[in-house]
Chains A and B, each alone.
Chain A
Amino acid sequence: MPLSATNFAQPRPVPVGIRSNEKSLSSDPFRFRFRGSPSFLGSPHSLRFNPTPPLKLAIPHCRRSAAAAVTDVSNGTMVKSSANMLITKEEGLELYEDMILGRFFEDMCAQMYYRGKMFGFVHLYNGQEAVSTGFIKLLKKEDTVVSTYRDHVHALSKGVPARAVMSELFGKATGCCRGQGGSMHMFSKEHNLIGGFAFIGEGIPVATGAAFSSKYRREVLKEASADHVTLAFFGDGTCNNGQFYECLNMAALWKLPIIFVVENNLWAIGMSHLRATSDPEIWKKGPAFGMAGVHVDGMDVLKVREVAKEAIERARRGDGPTLVECETYRFRGHSLADPDELRDPAEKARYAARDPISALKKYMIENKLANEQELKSIEKKIDEVLDDAVEFSDESPLPPRSQLLENVFADSKGFGIGPDGKYRCEDPKFTQGTAHV
């Protein structure tokens, strides 16, 4: 694709605190309460730390020019870096397709929920697609992803078929977890997605364990190809939880191949991050434990991808963990049951203008990486994928009674020995799901 030299401005670092949409922040009532530095919200700066104990200073410096492709959608300006595009056309289309899949899937979920096809707590990811796509599309199949209850899109990005995820949400036997997990418990052994956790923070130690496994394989079992990394996704609310800090410590201590990805969407249901946290700058907490702490604009998939590349490479090399704070936003409420009345409409509008999908679309079109036609055809394709997923899920059977007792134990002898001397799992009623255990 032709890269027009005239489109490239001289790379310059974007100054702290000055972005076109920053000006509107000063009138934001929430901004007044924020006592941190103005560079925090919407800052393009990533402040890096080179872990050399015991000196622990975060040294601010401007972003490397290669990464300064700021897509500033609200006023249409674009600052581009030097000769290289950040992505090729193929990569761009892949990213676009993944984000569209995530967005359309979540919209379909909402529709299905209101039609009574799925129940319970459903947490949608609209607006945060750049984080999932930016990170997960860089992973190998053997790399592990751990998520929270907002896990549909992480599952999709990791490669779990839309059909499997939708069926799981419908509670059908063809779901990725046989209908036993539901919205908040997406698992896939094939794609190395180990959750899906309902309580915040409880997935982080599990992710640390997966990273430990990787290190163990490399160093104890001497498997040379064991350089798998683990990504743990969680939110801003989790960053006040003990498990987060305990795992930061252990990961840095043992240099585990893990990346802690904070999806800071500023809200934990109705609790503003600023009201819950003494120091809201989460990336700073990485250096406190001796690991790199990075802040990135989570509404820009290209920036996320840059940061992710470095973090993943660091982990794969064996140089330890990274804490990446992605500033992002969820366009919908916390869950489909959340009326979402607390958030300021102006804040929502501001972030809606930074929609990651629109941003990527604009970038691709303006840089002649793709045209409207191609992008539209992707959207159409995804529409078809989703229609197929819904149809498949509708037609799939509900789990039969016999499934009730099947997966409680890996070894069903764990149900014990019944009064007749036989193991309970040998009881014919066990496979029918009606045995008394």
Chain B
Amino acid sequence: MATLFQGVGAVTPFSASSSLDSNKLLLPSRKSLSISDSRGSIFVYRSDALNLKAATRKQDLLIPNAVATKGETSTSAKSGHELLLFEALREGLEEEMERDPRVCVMGEDVGHYGGSYKVTKGLAEKYGDLRVLDTPIAENSFTGMGIGAAMTGLRPIVEGMNMGFLLLAFNQISNNCGMLHYTSGGQFTIPIVIRGPGGVGRQLGAEHSQRLESYFQSIPGIQMVACSTPYNAKGLMKAAIRSENPVILFEHVLLYNLKERIPDEEYVLSLEEAEMVRPGEHVTILTYSRMRYHVMQAAKTLVNKGYDPEVIDIRSLKPFDLYTIGCSVKKTHRVLIVEECMRTGGIGASLTAAITENFHDYLDAPIVCLSSQDVPTPYAGTLEEWTVVQPAQIVSAVEQLCQ
């Protein structure tokens, strides 16, 4: 089957960005993270724009292996190609569409508009209006249509313009997507991929800042993955398309402009495996999506303070990769979960339960879970910042955990 490049070149944007620091660094303004500005310019997402200058200065003082580079890999500056996360998604999508004519895309504005985050840009011109289908605004029905198409032989990718819109498709995702393989006694497979951007953005308001992974996680029969870097975005997109199971791929609005160098060779990642971002000894920090960057930012501070955190991007939100997580817990005996999900019933809550159930004997301290506040995301920038976990909170949580 597909080759797994799990351990190779887990290059994080931070290592990529360190080569950019000497060049221009732009403060991410409100506009800069929108789609329209993405062409040609280099944007590096910083979670905390205010600390930007401090962070750049700190770069020089940092211990070089604050971030994992897995040694010198083939994906050094010489080989591979650089692109932004949304381009990586598009590349993965295009490769799969090229490979299998049954792969098709449907969603709002995916065709002529190129996707509201430009993930499908250019595909309609190349593959036609039926293969990259612009749908009317009817999430429940076009998701159901994707499911029906999947059952009858196609491999559709349904894009929710914003993950929150997929709440309207909950009926189809829960009842049909997850269940029909089972209720049909295994007769029909549903190789559908449902993807879209979610998460808290920059003052997008409550309804556009939702994290649906917690709502979908109970649905039996589906898999959920969250991408966080261009490398894993492309790999997970390809894996999701090739999978015979229905997969929900969670992207994040603020991560689309991350830049990274990815291999030229074809690679497909595993949908069930977690990613070791930074090996360490003192504490296991489990995270996914955007919070990975907050964690890595906190990791820099922690390393300076003498801690050695092990950071794992769990990537697979359902099912959890209990092996990678378990190995880590057995090594460090302390767990911190950092997520953007709501506190109540979120991924962190499930993960806490799973770890407690399986690795209770290996824990030296209760699991700490940092989640977003159980608050509809406010519009005001300051309030919004306080609903989401910030690096400073992560640092103090680790300090407390490691006492």
- Residue A393 interfacial (CB < 8 Å): no
Q: How far is the CB of A197 from chain B (nearest CB, A)?
A: 8
Interfacial chain B residues near A249, Cβ < 8 Å: 136, 138
Q: Of residues 244 to 292 in A, which have CB atoms within 8 Å of B's CB atoms? A: 246-247, 249-250, 253
Q: How many of A's residues come within 8 Å of B, CB to CB?
A: 64
Chain B, 267-306, contact with A by CB distance < 8 Å: what is the 0/1 string?
0000111000000000000000000000000000000000
In the complex the two chains form, is A209's CB within 8 Å of B185's CB? no
In the complex the two chains form, is B321's CB within 8 Å of A407's CB? no
In the complex the two chains form, is B141's CB within 8 Å of A409's CB? no
- Residue A207 interfacial (CB < 8 Å): yes
In the complex the two chains form, is A205's CB within 8 Å of B154's CB? no
Q: Of residues 176 to 214 in A, which have CB atoms within 8 Å of B's CB atoms? A: 176-182, 185, 187-189, 194-199, 202, 204-214
In the complex the two chains form, is B245's CB within 8 Å of A188's CB? no
**Residue in chain A with minimal CB distance to B150:** A209
Interfacial chain A residues near B316, Cβ < 8 Å: 416
In the complex the two chains form, is A411's CB within 8 Å of B244's CB? yes
Interfacial chain B residues near A210, Cβ < 8 Å: 148-149, 151-152
Chain B, 239-266, contact with A by CB distance < 8 Å: what is the 0/1 string?
0000111000000000000000000000
In the complex the two chains form, is A408's CB within 8 Å of B140's CB? no
**Residue in chain A with minimal CB distance to B244:** A410
Binds A, one of B61-69, B113-121, B186-194: B186-194
- Residue A215 interfacial (CB < 8 Å): yes
Q: How far is the CB of A86 from chain B (nearest CB, A)?
A: 32
Q: How far is the CB of B112 from chain A (nearest CB, A)?
A: 15
In the complex the two chains form, is B141's CB within 8 Å of A205's CB? yes
A177 to B143 CA separation, bound complex (whole angstroms): 24
- Residue A8 interfacial (CB < 8 Å): no
- Residue B131 interfacial (CB < 8 Å): yes
Q: Quick one: which of B188, B272, B326 contacts A194, CB cutoff 8 A?
A: B188
- Residue A90 interfacial (CB < 8 Å): no
Q: Of residues 128 to 155 in B, which have CB atoms within 8 Å of A's CB atoms? A: 128, 130-131, 135-136, 138, 140-154
In the complex the two chains form, is B148's CB within 8 Å of A202's CB? no
Q: How far is the CB of B292 from chain A (nearest CB, A)?
A: 20
Q: Quick one: which of A177, A194, A221 contacts B151, CB cutoff 8 A?
A: A194
Given A194-B188, A221-B101, A418-B322, answer yes or no on A202-B171 (Cβ-Cβ < 8 Å). Answer: yes
Q: Quick one: which of A180, A199, A208 contacts B171, CB cutoff 8 A?
A: A199
- Residue A367 interfacial (CB < 8 Å): no
Q: How many of B's residues come within 8 Å of A, CB to CB?
A: 60
- Residue A144 interfacial (CB < 8 Å): yes
In the complex the two chains form, is B184's CB within 8 Å of A187's CB? yes
Q: Quick one: which of A181, A189, A202, A416 contacts B322, CB cutoff 8 A?
A: A416
In the complex the two chains form, is A421's CB within 8 Å of B323's CB? yes
A364 to B181 CA separation, bound complex (whole angstroms): 43
Question: Chain A CB within 10 Å — which of B140, B183, B273, B359 has the most?
Answer: B183
The 25 sampled A-B contact pairs (Cβ below 8 Å) are A177-B183, A181-B183, A189-B188, A194-B152, A195-B184, A202-B171, A202-B175, A206-B145, A206-B176, A209-B147, A209-B150, A212-B154, A213-B148, A220-B128, A249-B138, A250-B136, A250-B145, A407-B182, A407-B185, A410-B244, A414-B223, A414-B319, A417-B272, A417-B323, A419-B322
Inter-chain pairs besides A215-B130, A416-B322, 15 sampled, C-beta below 8 Å: A179-B185, A181-B185, A189-B184, A202-B176, A207-B148, A209-B144, A210-B148, A213-B152, A214-B152, A220-B130, A250-B138, A408-B182, A409-B245, A411-B245, A417-B319
